[in-house]
Structure 1
Amino acid sequence: MDDAENLTVAERIRQQFEDLTRAERQLANCMLEDYPVSGLGSITAVAETSGVSTPTVARMARKLGFGGFPQMQAQLHSELKATISNPINKHDLWAENAPGTHILNRFAEAVMENMRQTLRQINPTDFNAVAQLLSDPKRDIYAVGGRITRSMADHFFTHMQVMRSGVTLMAPNSNTWAHYVLNMKEGDVLVAFDIRRYEHDILRLAEVAKSRGVTFILFTDQWGSPAGKFATHSLNSRIEVPSAWDSLVVTLFLVEAVIAAVQNETWDETKDRMKILEELFDQTKMFKKFI
């Protein structure tokens, strides 16, 4: 199967955005704002909502590799169904077509393909911009995750707070989030993690933070969280594996790659902070010494 056939419509748009005409870019941006729902109306409705002509819609669909608008819309319907799949649906989808190989091999192959597809889609310029924002000592950083992704936020926070000051891990219970937003200043950075089934609280937090001038960085999946409409930068990773649950392996890879990039940007300060931290570990006898 051709690699392009494995891409979501959003991934195709991001991959080919620079090759689109001005009208097609206008259409593409409109579709990505409320993805994938924005592309589910009639071709006339999609054109009117985007402020472009119906031929522009049909032309962009063909540019993205589809036979026409109906084929592109059929994929959008399929993606919408995928984003709202519950764990039982996910398990059944993989189980009915499962080959006879061991689960270790099937899982590993799925993860490796997720990595390959993700790396093809990541824009190095966007990645570098994320690292620069997180390295800026004038910006405080807030990290938050959802029901499943809170572990990613915790991992991100644990490393970031070693490298620099002004990093806060937001509590998982959303009824406390207004207290954190109260302390956010214009120019601060909110880093959020949100994968399918996307959480309403993350969307509301992103909207409120953005209204206060906070820069929003989103780690999400290949379809893209609705909160992405408020993101300055989105880092999308593939998450599907032969399991009832989605995989965060590639998301963790992106998080650790960002951490490594920030470390390179801030090494002088990071090294000094690490030395002090090691002294504190020695004073508290946190780690066992074998000599």
Structure 2
Amino acid sequence: MADQIRRRLGDCTPAERKVGRVLLSAYPSAGFETVAVLAARAGVSGPTVVRFVSRLGFSGFPAFQAALRADLDDRSASPLSLYRSRDVADATGADEALARYAPAAEEAVRRTFADLPPSDFSRAVDLLARDARRVLVVGGRFSRLVGLYLVQHLQQMRPDVEYVTDRPEGRTHALADLGHRDVLVVFDYRRYEKDSARLAQFAVDRKASVVLFTDVWLSPVASLADAVLPSDTGTASAYDAMAPAMALVEAVVSAVLAELGDVAHRRMERIESVGAALDVF
């Protein structure tokens, strides 16, 4: 739902966009307000709210809220609940599990790129390739692995790229000098982590840019981000798929390399030279 709202903002009237932004800024709780309260928060009329949800394809505000409740269940799904809903227990043996998993994973990657917002992808690449003085990356319990993958590639192409440790004192040191020319890259997937939102808000307060890698339900960080790159994490497992997120990171890496061109090439040559001198490679 959050992803759908965000995608449709460009098709809306200015008044309808106000409704969409209020919904995204306090998603999903704002959607459970009455039409009158939501209209007052957005500074528009009640009929504007109704027209907005109709533009999303709903017959009325009650239908919108019903879909929102279902979306909320999906956003908070745990591996245990996914184990039940995806009938993981029904698979008998490795062969059947593979037969179920492979097509689901392939489809998730396909949907990720089919639904990828081109403007957000371009903005993310531009921030990572040209605009940033520093790139700081943070991730969650599992997504930190994808974040580290991005860091190791970007470090080959440009300086001042760092993965921010989970340790509080390490984060304090890394973020102490955060400013308007810096970029914070956040990896945040359901069940979304409170630290991610706190760090993103900290970055925004200091005029830094935020790039978000998330799932189709959209992390709360989406309302703060300059670029949002969602992945379809659907799979036939009790765990959400990170392969689509990894594929998306690799697409970003490829695009950043193309943008940096000779700058990246020269840095890669210097790294190889230092590695040879130190007998690393």
Q: TM-score, normalised by structure 1?
A: 0.88
Separation in 2, partners of 1:179, 1:162: 23
Give 1:138 deviation, angstroms: 5.3
* Equivalent position of 2:7 in the other structure: 15
* Equivalent position of 1:4 in the other structure: none
Per-residue CA distance 1:196-236 (angstroms, 9 max, x = gap):
11111111111111111111111111111112222111111
Structure 1 residues 96 and 232: alpha-carbon distance in aligned structure 2, compared to 1, 3 A threshold:
same
Q: Is the 8 A contact 2:185 2:210 kept in 1?
A: yes
- The one-letter code of the counterpart of 1:221 is D
Q: Is the 8 A contact 2:91 2:97 kept in 1?
A: no
1:133-172, aligned counterparts within 5 Å? Answer: 133-136=127-130, 139-172=133-166
Stretches of structure 1 that go unaligned for 5 or more consecutive residues are 1-8
Structure 1 residues 70 and 138: alpha-carbon distance in aligned structure 2, compared to 1, 3 A threshold:
closer
Give 1:28 deviation, angstroms: 0.8
Give 1:139 deviation, angstroms: 1.7
Separation in 1, partners of 2:252, 2:277: 31
Structure 1 residues 11 and 98: alpha-carbon distance in aligned structure 2, compared to 1, 3 A threshold:
farther
SS at match of 1:52: coil
SS at match of 1:61: helix
Which of 54, 72, 76 is residue 68 of structure 2 equivalent to? Answer: 76
Structure 1 residues 35 and 188: alpha-carbon distance in aligned structure 2, compared to 1, 3 A threshold:
same
* Equivalent position of 2:240 in the other structure: 246
Give 1:285 deviation, angstroms: 4.2
Which of 177, 184, 191 is residue 183 of structure 1 equivalent to? Answer: 177
Q: TM-score, normalised by structure 2?
A: 0.91
1:26-37, aligned counterparts within 5 Å? Answer: 26-37=18-29
Per-residue CA distance 1:173-208 (angstroms, 9 max, x = gap):
345312211022222111110011111111111111
| 2:17 matches 1:25 | yes
Q: Is the 8 A contact 2:188 2:213 kept in 1?
A: yes
Separation in 2, partners of 1:138, 1:120: 28
* Equivalent position of 1:114 in the other structure: 108
Q: Is the 8 A contact 2:131 2:181 kept in 1?
A: no
Which of 184, 187, 191 is residue 193 of structure 1 equivalent to? Answer: 187
What percentage of aligned pairs have identical amino acids? 35
Query: For the aligned residues, what is the CA RMSD?
Result: 2.1
Separation in 2, partners of 1:142, 1:96: 37
Stretches of structure 2 that go unaligned for 5 or more consecutive residues are none
